[in-house]
Amino acid sequence: MHFDPKALDRPNGMYLDGTLVEAAGEEFVISCPSDTDLKLPVRMATPEDMDRAVESCRKAVRDSGWATMGPRPRAEILNRWADLVDRHAADIAALEALVSSRPYTEVMSRDVKVVSLALRMFSAYADTHESSVTATPARQLSFTRDEPYGVIGAISPWNFPVILAAWKFAPALAAGNGVVLKPSEFTPFGILRIAQLAREAGLPDGIFNVVLGDGSVGQTLVRHPGVDYVTFTGSSRTGAAIMADAATHGLKPVSLELGGKGPQVVFDDAKDLDHIADLVARGVTYNSGQACFSGSRLIVQSGVKQALIERIAARMARVRPGPTWADGITLPPVINQSQLNRMAGIVSQSVNEGGVLLCGGHAMEERGQFFEPTILDGIGPDNIAFREEIFGPVLSVDTFETFDQAIGKANHPDYGLTASVWTRDIDVAMAASRRIESGTVWINHWGRAMDMTSPFGGLKRSGIGKDMGRQGYGKYLKTKAIWMEIEEPA
């Protein structure tokens, strides 16, 4: 056991003006996914609390010098914050693992490092970002200057809590904005601990505030007149509601990272079926399938179908469920009971609609909430397992014969976040990467590296805009055109 879940000192409240303060709203009780007997209350923010958080951030943007100082001094502060995050990694990891589906060992080896890497990397982008002089006649000079928006309202989900929050606050702050972050109501603790390190790093008070609460608190943030830009990661349905709210409350720009339904397209000539089976099985069981980039639809050419499915099923049978604080687990818990019920409901409806259950399909009997890795065969576009983002360890299977069929099946009518193509033929790979409608296409690969240069974001109901990469930094700046008349000296 990496930590004792009952003995952790949890930060609680809102992080406001550089310190933790009590929120005045209703109590929300988090049920720990790894041990549902463990109930952890947090207090949500009221609309008045949100006013305080946004106003304090506006004031800090106006008065602290954060927005107007050069990128280098900002980078020094953010780099110090990154060092502190690394130094407190064990504490952050325990708090993150306590209420999320993230295993402690993975948070230590990956999630916390992504946070510190994002702070360092986007600071470096800020240092190298340049605006432009446009082509003007000699007596005029027109140039652009990219300026921070002001206050960024950031809303994040529960499935990779500290990573997905950092994808937003690191570039937004590096660009000179202030940020008011509302993490998921299910997973506040790791983020609050990270926030508590900001003051020691030298971040001006108020430049980064964290407000806890559910969707209604998120809605208050989006609608707040003091918020200049909204950045969101979560479900497609919430993303659409946020876009509508942002349109009618100030016409604010939004960027939305939403759901996915990623295809794994495997051609007969693909090399090393064992390696592919490793990554397809991992791609749908990683974080128990609670990942927007989950490779949840296997679209396989008929010649390798049987051999590949046998290999994937064998790997799924070897998963080790367990609480996030245990060693060596490969199947973490599902975030809450309603998600677990939803997975079971979709699988059973899928079978009623003609899907063939090859393995799994049920909740496990362990303490906590676990769902068996599941394979459903014969899943065409009319089946619920094709239509819905299941957000669980459920792989649907469909078969193809020709290249055109493969592309037709890979392109989902609603989602377009990530896709994988497995083939030895470079022409097939490149043509598929062009014709698959998806924000990311991996060739002979599945999964994001720690590297942050590659932008991430979806098409259709998978989102608008990018996180990460230069695009994920530049979106937090607005371009102003400046035009000067130049008098010839007499």
Alpha-carbon Rg of the chain, whole angstroms? 23
Tokens of 211: 């407000």
Residue 369 within binding range of ligand NAD, rule CB under 6 A? no
CB 3 within 8 A of CB 12: no
CA distances from 303 to 165, 266, 281, 313, 357 (A): 43, 10, 19, 18, 21
Residue 292 within binding range of ligand NAD, rule CB under 6 A? yes
Residue 465 within binding range of ligand NAD, rule CB under 6 A? no
Pick the binder of ligand NAD from 61, 222, 384, 421 (CB under 6 A): 222
CB 40 within 8 A of CB 11: no
CB atoms within 10 A of CB 434: 9
Tokens of 388: 């819905």
Amino acid in position 270 = A
Q: How far is the CB of 146 from ligand NAD (least distance, A)?
A: 24
Name the residue whose CB lies closest to ligand NAD: 218
Helix (H, G, I), strand (E, B) or coil at 65: coil
* Burial class, 167, CB count within 10 angstroms (exposed 0-12 / middle 13-18 / buried 19+): buried
Pick the binder of ligand NAD from 283, 463, 465, 469 (CB under 6 A): 463
Pick the binder of ligand NAD from 148, 260, 360, 373 (CB under 6 A): 260
Euclidean distance between CA atoms 30 and 35, whole angstroms:
11
Selection from 437, 441, 385 nearest residue 414 by Cα = 437
Residue 389 within binding range of ligand NAD, rule CB under 6 A? yes
Q: How far is the CB of 316 from ligand NAD (least distance, A)?
A: 21
* Number of residues written out for the chain: 490
Q: Which residue stretch of 72-80, 86-94, 228-236, 442-450 sits at the interface with ligand NAD (rule: CB under 6 A)?
A: 228-236
Q: Which positions are annotated as active-site residues? A: 182, 257, 292, 389
Pick the binder of ligand NAD from 5, 206, 259, 262 (CB under 6 A): 259
Residue 331 within binding range of ligand NAD, rule CB under 6 A? no
Left (φ > 0), alpha (ψ -120 to 50) or beta: where does 425 sit?
beta
Pick the binder of ligand NAD from 17, 91, 111, 185 (CB under 6 A): 185
Q: Which residue stretch of 80-88, 92-100, 188-196, 237-245 sits at the interface with ligand NAD (rule: CB under 6 A)?
A: 237-245
Residue 219 within binding range of ligand NAD, rule CB under 6 A? yes
End-to-end CA distance of the chain: 81
Pick the binder of ligand NAD from 15, 158, 169, 473 (CB under 6 A): 158
Pick the binder of ligand NAD from 8, 24, 241, 243 (CB under 6 A): 241
Euclidean distance between CA atoms 262 and 284, whole angstroms:
10
Euclidean distance between CA atoms 416 and 460, whole angstroms:
6
Q: Which residue stretch of 27-35, 149-157, 274-282, 316-324 sits at the interface with ligand NAD (rule: CB under 6 A)?
A: 149-157
C-alpha 47, offset from chain centre = 26
Name the phi and psi angles at 11, rounded to 5: -70, 145
Euclidean distance between CA atoms 96 and 190, whole angstroms:
4
Q: Which residue stretch of 68-76, 218-226, 272-280, 443-451 sits at the interface with ligand NAD (rule: CB under 6 A)?
A: 218-226
Q: How far is the CB of 335 from ligand NAD (least distance, A)?
A: 8
Q: Which residue stretch of 20-28, 154-162, 265-273, 400-408 sits at the interface with ligand NAD (rule: CB under 6 A)?
A: 154-162
Q: How far is the CB of 417 from ligand NAD (least distance, A)?
A: 6
Q: How far is the CB of 202 from ligand NAD (least distance, A)?
A: 28
Residues in touch with ligand NAD (CB under 6 A): 155-159, 164, 182, 184-185, 214-215, 218-219, 222, 233-235, 238, 241-242, 257-260, 292, 389, 391, 417, 458, 463
